[in-house]
A and B are shown apart, each in its own frame.
Chain A
């Protein structure tokens, strides 16, 4: 592999990590509360509200049913409105966040459902407020599971960020397409694939380790 490739690879890896981390952070800020809302407004839960649950649930389902590549193109006007451009790494973050919010919402909801109902009942019997139940019972008890679920989201984001390369987002996917495919450089293709595999392995390992440390069961 020629030496000019190395800086390209590091730059692309940097862009991918940037897109994934920033998207993950922004999406979690909205996605985690969304998951809490989906769970707590469900039937029999502390903030039971069937109408709200149904409306939010339908929006989440609708967003989740759009393939990422289409979502990315469909929300270009929205992206342009937010970041002033539809091209570039930062612009790619917008569709990545939009796609991840409902995903995180559902994943967090699933984790919260695993918390035994008896724990919520016990907290209620001690006079806990709904906010206290969320912050002191539901989230801490579901934390190991939430960490595992969010790890899955990060891995999905690595894949989606590669697609974002198609709208000039940069990153490893972009590099693989432009150099590996369009310029017939199989060694670049191979290198990006290897880096992606390693990246995903590392993320999964860190996620598993953290989830295990948090789990006291």
Chain B
């Protein structure tokens, strides 16, 4: 549906040239919800604006629904844009127009007759749950309601693609959830391709099928959301994920020296990651049964779901003789579980030893 090839964007700024996008390649399939995550200034907003040519790339090709966007003239481009809805962080609604008029706005631009506009806008008002607010002005609405108007407006011209530029960044977590649910419903009911720009990993986790992590104008990492969450490769990706999934040691061990060789009174800390069906396997109890002389302490645990796939993260501490610990490690590595060895760490409070 969308294919970006070798996108370059260079700005002239008073401080000199800014290379905002450096050879971006990205392919987004029809009906997908594709997340693009990055810190502010990473180039993600510029990237999404290259899709509808609000920003013209300095070089590269932008193929949207079979059309080469960079080669269209002004009027062809205006027509092509009607195929791409967009919602914004600050909603960008007309303050002088009512909710109804705002949703009707794209149709007014295309000079659609009033009767047809009504047939189009009323179901949209219903879809976003604002039927009773039709004659109110945006200033009378809450942030979440404003974004619902923004979504209805973006859908009015029956687009095939919806671009969301930090659409939930100005909203509280609960409202964010309801807006994301709405986007998900639209994606399913209208088989709309959705591109989501965000700096919040929660948004990606909630509704995206795929994700690209952008940093300094290049895509650092990309893939299915489940893979990126369970097995991030790049430091920047790990950083984003750590907001949701803490990589810190449990409080009792935090700040203590981590050693790779066994020291007196220390535990071998392991991070265990279970995915899918393996989350149901009794791996730990099997290990304890098979490896005599090993004690296992559960220090941290978190069970989550990404796209309905169970995903568990645990930190356990092993103690016992060096060779029993090693055989327990061997045993775990043979199972359907990812094992990361953190190292031997002592507890803060000696009373616990």
Residues in A lying within 8 Å of B, measured CB to CB: 116, 118-119, 121-129, 132, 136-137, 140-141, 143, 214, 216-217
Closest chain-A Cβ to B290's Cβ sits at a distance in Å of 61
Within 8 A of A (CB), among B154-196: 157, 163
Closest to A144 in B: B96
Q: How far is the CA of A127 from the CA of B95 in the complex (A)?
A: 19
Q: How far is the CA of A133 from the CA of B307 in the complex (A)?
A: 41
Q: Which of A126, A128, A129 has the most CB of B within 10 A?
A: A126
Contacts of A128 in B (CB 8 A): 78, 109
The majority secondary structure among interface residues of chain A is helix
Contact indicator B109/A127 (Cβ below 8 Å)? yes
Closest to A214 in B: B96
Contact indicator B81/A216 (Cβ below 8 Å)? no
Contact indicator A119/B94 (Cβ below 8 Å)? yes
Q: How far is the CA of A214 from the CA of B97 in the complex (A)?
A: 11
The 8 closest A-B pairs by CB, nearest first: A122-B92, A127-B78, A216-B137, A118-B92, A127-B81, A125-B86, A126-B106, A140-B96
Closest to A129 in B: B78
If A127-B109, A140-B96 touch, whether A118 touches B90 (CB-CB below 8 Å) is: yes
Closest to A143 in B: B96
Closest chain-B Cβ to A171's Cβ sits at a distance in Å of 36
Within 8 A of A (CB), among B135-167: 137-139, 153, 157, 163
Contact indicator A217/B54 (Cβ below 8 Å)? no
Q: How far is the CA of A125 from the CA of B87 in the complex (A)?
A: 9
Q: How far is the CA of A132 from the CA of B84 in the complex (A)?
A: 19
Contacts of A121 in B (CB 8 A): 54, 88, 92
Q: How far is the CA of A173 from the CA of B32 in the complex (A)?
A: 72
Contact indicator A126/B105 (Cβ below 8 Å)? yes
13 chain-A/chain-B pairs, Cβ below 8 angstroms: A122-B86, A122-B88, A122-B92, A125-B52, A125-B86, A125-B163, A126-B82, A126-B106, A126-B109, A127-B106, A129-B78, A136-B109, A143-B96
Contacts of A132 in B (CB 8 A): 109
Closest to A124 in B: B54
B79 interface residue per 8 A CB criterion: yes
Which of B90, B94, B163 lies in contact with A140, CB distance below 8 A? Answer: B94
Q: How far is the CA of A116 from the CA of B85 in the complex (A)?
A: 19
Contacts of B88 in A (CB 8 A): 118, 121-122
Which of B78, B86, B95, B109 lies in contact with A216, CB distance below 8 A? Answer: B95
Contact indicator B90/A116 (Cβ below 8 Å)? yes
Residues in B lying within 8 Å of A, measured CB to CB: 52, 54, 77-82, 84-86, 88, 90, 92-97, 105-106, 108-110, 137-139, 153, 157, 163
Closest to A128 in B: B109
Closest to B90 in A: A118
Q: How far is the CA of A49 from the CA of B335 in the complex (A)?
A: 67
Contacts of B84 in A (CB 8 A): 125
Contacts of A129 in B (CB 8 A): 78, 109
Closest to A117 in B: B92
Contacts of A124 in B (CB 8 A): 54, 81
Closest to A122 in B: B92
Closest chain-B Cβ to A190's Cβ sits at a distance in Å of 44
Q: Which of B78, B80, B96, B109 has the most CB of A within 10 A?
A: B96
Q: Which of B82, B85, B92 has the most CB of A within 10 A?
A: B92
Which of B82, B96, B138, B139 lies in contact with A127, CB distance below 8 A? Answer: B82
Contacts of A217 in B (CB 8 A): 95, 139
Closest to B86 in A: A125
Closest to B150 in A: A122
Q: How far is the CA of A205 from the CA of B80 in the complex (A)?
A: 47
Contacts of B86 in A (CB 8 A): 122, 125-126
Contact indicator B82/A141 (Cβ below 8 Å)? no
Contacts of B139 in A (CB 8 A): 216-217
| Contacts beyond the supplied A125-B81, A127-B110, A216-B96: 5 A-B pairs with Cβ under 8 Å | A126-B82, A126-B109, A143-B96, A216-B139, A217-B95
Contacts of A216 in B (CB 8 A): 95-96, 137-139
Contacts of A122 in B (CB 8 A): 86, 88, 92
Contact indicator A116/B92 (Cβ below 8 Å)? yes
Q: Which of A122, A136, A143, A217 has the most CB of B within 10 A?
A: A122
Contacts of B153 in A (CB 8 A): 126
Contacts of B81 in A (CB 8 A): 124-127
